[in-house]
Structure 1
Amino acid sequence: MDPAPSPTSTDPANAGGGRRPGYLYRLVAAHLAAHPDQVLKVGEITTALSVPSTGAVFDALKKMAAAGYATHHTKPHRFQITQAGIDAAGTMPPPAPRSPGSSSPRSARRQPVARPNGDLYFPRKLAGATDVDVLRRLRDKRIPALLYGPPGTGKTALVEAAFPDLLTVAGTGDTVVEDFLGSFIPLPDGGFEFVYGPLVAAMREGRALLVDDATLIPPKVLAVLYPAMDGRRVITIPGYRNERVEAVDGFYVIAGHNPGVHGAILTEALASRFDVHIEVTTDWDLARHLGVPTAAVQAAVDLNQDLAAGRISWAPQLRELLGFTRVRKTLGLPAAVANLAGRAPEEDREQVTAALRQHFGTEITALALGKQR
């Protein structure tokens, strides 16, 4: 996503103390990528970045628009990142550190990381670094990690951002050993071929393996993982000639757990296999950062307090809040609020509706079909 031509030391886009070429361009691009649903004025971006020159910011924005990375609106001049810009932002080098004593721009707090599907993940603080960096360090040292928290808080998104080579097993109560090891599939000529499963592929190719919703998987099935995770790092495939599989460097197992979900049981055998347990909750600041209305965020905060106290069994997380924002853009605010109320389980809908009513100040009913027009 580098601008063309590359700025020189005299380029106004380099305003700010002789930083390396393209510094301001990368700041501006990262800020737009952090607000994909917003059309921002030049002055708003300049203020958010805490840089002195509106003209330099405007020049960087025009370069983005010329490259197809932003849409340029006029009267007044406003800019919004395009999908091409979002895709490019994930591979763009971060801005150089600011000089000692200078204030860091607010947008630099979150350098987005591209996920395999092109969506951006915004890293969060963890253990003196970012969550993405911590997971990568744990993988380097072969320290398995278990991520736990309500559904929709971003556990899978974090793992996808940390490990581009990720393979996944989606856990359910019906998951079987063959879902890890592989199974025979029929061929057009009437024969059968054995297709290796994701655990085998991850071990042989040195890839990361996410066991999502691991605590929904029957314990006897999960036991297939344990020899691969301990010092042996070897398994056999009983259904295919007892073939022996050894893990190569890079192989890593990480798991997700949703406490409170019906059927989710974290056994001692499973918990003890993961040396690091990391709680993942919704980042309310990030929700606001991504354009979720304050009223929706505050309602979700209150409902999550009720969830923690055991007064309700469901509360909206980041996934639901981002869905709310998309529905609002498509169908309008009343429909988005009604839809969010309708996403609550029947037993919690009254409390969820009351919280939404309190913060939005309007009467709310779940989204439903009406009479023929």
Structure 2
Amino acid sequence: MARQLGHSHGAVRNAVLTLVRRGEADQSGFGQPSFGANPRTAAAAQAAVISPPGTHAPRAQAATARTTIPAAAAPRRTGPIRRAGGQLYHPRELADLPDVEALNRLRDADVPVLLYGPPGTGKTSLVEAAFPDLLTVAGDGDTTVGDLIGEYTQADSGGYVFQYGPLVTAMTEGRALLIDDATLISPMVLAALYPAMDGRRQIQVKAHKGETIKAEKGFYVIAGHNPNVHGAILTEALSSRFSVQIQVGTDYDLALALRIDARIVRVARNLANQVDLGELGWAPQLRELLSYQRTEAVLGTNAALANLIGIAPSEDRDAVADAVITATGIKKIAPLTLGKQIAASAARQPPGSPGPAHRGRSR
């Protein structure tokens, strides 16, 4: 339909979806659905129905509104933001703006962003809070071009259908796309992404009849990079595609505000300083501190401390244990470990009941 009409894939798809919502066309299947006419389609074609003002995509409205507001006069969203999964995100300052607002301004201006920093510092959380329409690709060494663009999959009927990937979906629907751990993906695979990000704003799906996919307004790419993860390589080709690169670290003041044990926050801050000096390779980030808080609430302080030491890399574990022992005053803490087996008969006895030998003498 797109080729015959001479319009973009996304524009035609949106028009057909509008017909489906009005009951003037039928849809079957998901991912790459099929559309068909129904008894109401012919009547719908007799006259064009123009959507009234204010009913277009909210993303386009928001972009227009924000870019006309001077930075100094823009509203500052400082309160917690609920992410799609229900978790709260607490905005941080970036370029004299709340970070979520800064990212939205960069999206409006189509300036790709690379977020870099240790795992667990909140890179993904920030992107999810900023862009509710987000699609995510979790990158690793096994990520293929098909994982980005799409590939043929077997249908229930036994035949094969082409299933579009998240890159095509984000382009045709004008959505944000996060390439998480982008530097773990092969440069040859990432090259499939670049034509969508530059002035061409389109890609060619060679696996699907050479189809050309054009990016709709609102399409935006953001990437995450963990510099210290084994195998993560920030190539010049990848770096040059992201005009803005933002370092993300743990906000220890936020950790205190979230009522995480101040002693453990102090330990994490001191270990992070050692990492900056090159003396250590690991320090607890906000993710580990929140995990500590949850574990402490369930299993108690000693178990939470033991677990914090246990999740540290083996080469840094002794230094982490020493820091925790110094901060808490507990003389000995070892990684959380299973102990000896609990006897089944003893486990069933109430406290203070006579043991098996005593019962035998009483008989």
After TM superposition, the score normalised by the length of structure 2 is 0.72
SS of the residue 2:172 aligns to:
helix
**Deviation string for 1:294-336 (max 9, x for gaps)?**
0110110111111112222211100000000000000000000
Q: Distance in 2 between matches of 1:122 and 1:212?
A: 20
Among 73, 84, 90, the residue aligned to 1:116:
84
SS of the residue 1:210 aligns to:
strand
Among 260, 263, 272, the residue aligned to 2:231:
263
Matches within 5 A, 1:151-166: 151-166=119-134
Alignment pair present for 1:280 and 2:242: no
Alignment pair present for 1:225 and 2:193: yes
Matches within 5 A, 1:187-336: 187-336=155-304
**Deviation string for 1:225-244 (max 9, x for gaps)?**
11000011010111111110
Among 102, 113, 117, the residue aligned to 1:149:
117
Q: Counterpart of 2:255 in structure 1: which amino acid?
A: A
2:105 corresponds to which residue? 137
SS of the residue 1:256 aligns to:
strand
Q: Which runs of 5+ in 2 are unaligned?
A: 1-75, 343-363
1:371 corresponds to which residue? 340
Among 176, 201, 218, the residue aligned to 2:144:
176
**Deviation string for 1:243-295 (max 9, x for gaps)?**
10000100000000001110000001100100000000000011111111101
Q: Distance in 2 between matches of 1:345 and 1:290?
A: 26
**Deviation string for 1:161-200 (max 9, x for gaps)?**
0000000010001101001001111122221111100000
Q: Counterpart of 2:94 in structure 1: which amino acid?
A: L
Matches within 5 A, 1:1-80: none
Q: Distance in 1 between matches of 2:212 and 2:273?
A: 49
Q: Counterpart of 2:276 in structure 1: which amino acid?
A: A
Q: Distance in 2 between matches of 1:312 and 1:152?
A: 17
Number of aligned positions between the proteins: 266
Give the Å deviation of 1:109.
9.0
Q: Distance in 2 between matches of 1:279 and 1:147?
A: 6
Q: Counterpart of 1:357 in structure 2: which amino acid?
A: I
Q: Distance in 2 between matches of 1:192 and 1:152?
A: 40
Q: Distance in 1 between matches of 2:227 and 2:326?
A: 28
Contact 2:135 2:177 survives alignment (8 Å): yes
Q: Percent identity?
A: 58
Q: Which of 1 and 2 has greater Rg?
A: 2
Contact 2:114 2:223 survives alignment (8 Å): yes
Contact 2:78 2:98 survives alignment (8 Å): no
Q: Counterpart of 1:257 in structure 2: which amino acid?
A: H
Q: Counterpart of 1:198 in structure 2: which amino acid?
A: P
2:34 corresponds to which residue? none
Q: Does 188-197 or 205-214 show the bigger shift?
A: 188-197
SS of the residue 2:84 aligns to:
coil
Q: Distance in 2 between matches of 1:353 and 1:143?
A: 43
Q: Distance in 2 between matches of 1:289 and 1:225?
A: 40
Among 334, 341, 351, the residue aligned to 2:309:
341
Q: Counterpart of 1:316 in structure 2: which amino acid?
A: P
Among 332, 335, 352, the residue aligned to 2:320:
352
Q: Counterpart of 1:246 in structure 2: which amino acid?
A: K
Structure 1 ranges of 4+ moved more than 3 A = none
Q: Distance in 2 between matches of 1:282 and 1:196?
A: 36
Give the Å deviation of 1:110.
4.1
Q: Counterpart of 2:308 in structure 1: which amino acid?
A: L
Q: Counterpart of 2:247 in structure 1: which amino acid?
A: E
SS of the residue 1:303 aligns to:
helix
Q: Distance in 1 between matches of 2:310 and 2:338?
A: 12
Q: Distance in 2 between matches of 1:109 and 1:214?
A: 29
SS of the residue 2:326 aligns to:
helix
Q: Distance in 2 between matches of 1:307 and 1:110?
A: 30
Q: Counterpart of 2:333 in structure 1: which amino acid?
A: I
Contact 2:195 2:201 survives alignment (8 Å): yes
Q: Counterpart of 2:151 in structure 1: which amino acid?
A: S
